[in-house]
Amino acid sequence: MQKLRVMVVGACGKMGRQVVTAVSRQDDLELAGAVNRSHAGEDIGVIAGIGPIGVAVNPDFDSALTRLKPDVMVDFAQPDGLTGRIRTAIHAGVHPVVGTTGLTQAEVDEIRDFAKQYGLGAVIAPNFAVGALLMMRFAEIAAGYFTNAEIIELHHDRKLDSPSGTAIKTAEMMAARRSAGATLQTTVEAPAAEPAMAPETARKPIEKIRGARGGELAGIHIHSVRLPGFVAHQEVILGNPGETLTIRHDSIDRESFMPGVLLAVRKVVGLREVVYGLESLVFGQ
């Protein structure tokens, strides 16, 4: 059986080291290379804590891609230069699996159009944890039955972008559910109407500190927390008159992302387009 050759970009970071370890333990995958700006020439196995594996860290992405000719590039590096790396990989016939967040919708659309020119598949996923995907799916379903919702996402203090890609995609999924006209009418009997107030006397929300209510996407407030000690966590709180529903997922170890990463690596070589989000590969939709 021919093994899939995988090159990990951002290999010396916390997520990169986990990917290196996970790929190295698979019988059908081969760690073809490791790219990182620091630790040039060092054995990535030693850096990852699994012992020497004979793969040296290469600080130059372009030369590594040309020389190693991997089948798949897994990118968990810093977001600067990300779109360029993806385009370069696709141009070289290498399938990207991207876990680095920070891409705008316009950039995702640009990558999707670029990949179509080559008929090459890629996976861009805000979150690779299966539990997180279920949390997002449950929130999407619940959005059809609750009129109000807010999202609180909590990550480690080294995460550069906010809100997280997971929070943005969750809000997009919930908004799409609502726009499809699936919202349940929860008010059994309408309360007595109150006298309408003149515009100048109508009560408006008062934000004493700018940003206290978080950002807003499609009517859903999103709050970002960045603190040491967190890995990746998200809570979706939905409210109706007289009740609330809380849906929460916690990744307490980066190992939780590895089954999703390995799934994406194996599936991406059979794709001919860009897949945004892992749910279609996990749930078959």
184 and 264, same domain (yes or no): no
Do 139 and 241 fall into the same domain?
Answer: yes
Are residue 208 and residue 268 in the same domain, yes or no?
A: no
Number of domains in the chain: 2
**Rounded distance between C-alpha atoms, residue 136 and residue 133, angstroms:** 5
Tell me the CATH number at 95: 3.40.50.720
Say what the pLDDT of residue 284 is: 76
Per the residue annotation, which of 39, 69, 156, 159 is the catalytic one? Answer: 159
| Catalytic residue selected from 95, 155, 233, 249 | 155
User: Are 115 and 134 found together in one domain?
Assistant: no
Let me know whether 258 and 118 are in one domain.
Answer: yes
Whole-structure pTM value: 0.81
Its domain, for residue 236, covers 130-251
Q: Tell me how far CA of residue 186 lies from CA of 145, 190, 192, 241, 244, in angstroms.
A: 7, 10, 16, 8, 13
Residue of 267, 252, 77, 72 lying closest to 155 (CA atoms): 252
pLDDT at 190: 47
Same domain as 216, residue 201: yes
Domain match, 60 and 155 both: no
230: CATH: 3.30.360.10
In this structure, are 207 and 222 located in the same domain? yes
Report CA 152 to chain centroid distance, whole Å. 15
User: Is 91 among the residues known to form the active site?
Assistant: no
DSSP-derived letter for residue 56 is: B
Q: What is the DSSP string of 95-109?
A: EEEE------HHHHH
Residue 263 is predicted with a pLDDT of: 96
What does the pLDDT read at residue 211? 87
User: Looking at the structure, do residues 34 and 116 belong to the same domain, yes or no?
Assistant: yes
Same domain, 31 and 58: yes
Q: Output the tens digit of pLDDT for each of the chain's 285 residues.
A: 799 999 999 999 999 999 999 999 999 999 999 999 999 999 999 999 999 999 999 999 999 999 999 999 999 998 889 999 999 999 999 999 999 877 888 999 999 999 999 999 999 998 999 999 999 999 999 999 998 999 999 999 988 889 998 999 999 999 999 888 655 655 545 455 555 555 555 677 788 898 888 999 989 999 999 999 999 999 999 999 999 999 999 999 999 999 999 999 999 999 999 999 898 898 875
95 classed as catalytic = no
Q: Are residues 149 and 234 in the same domain?
A: yes
Question: Quick one: 29 and 57 in the same domain?
Answer: yes
Cα distances (Å, whole numbers) of residue 10 to 14, 57, 170: 9, 10, 26
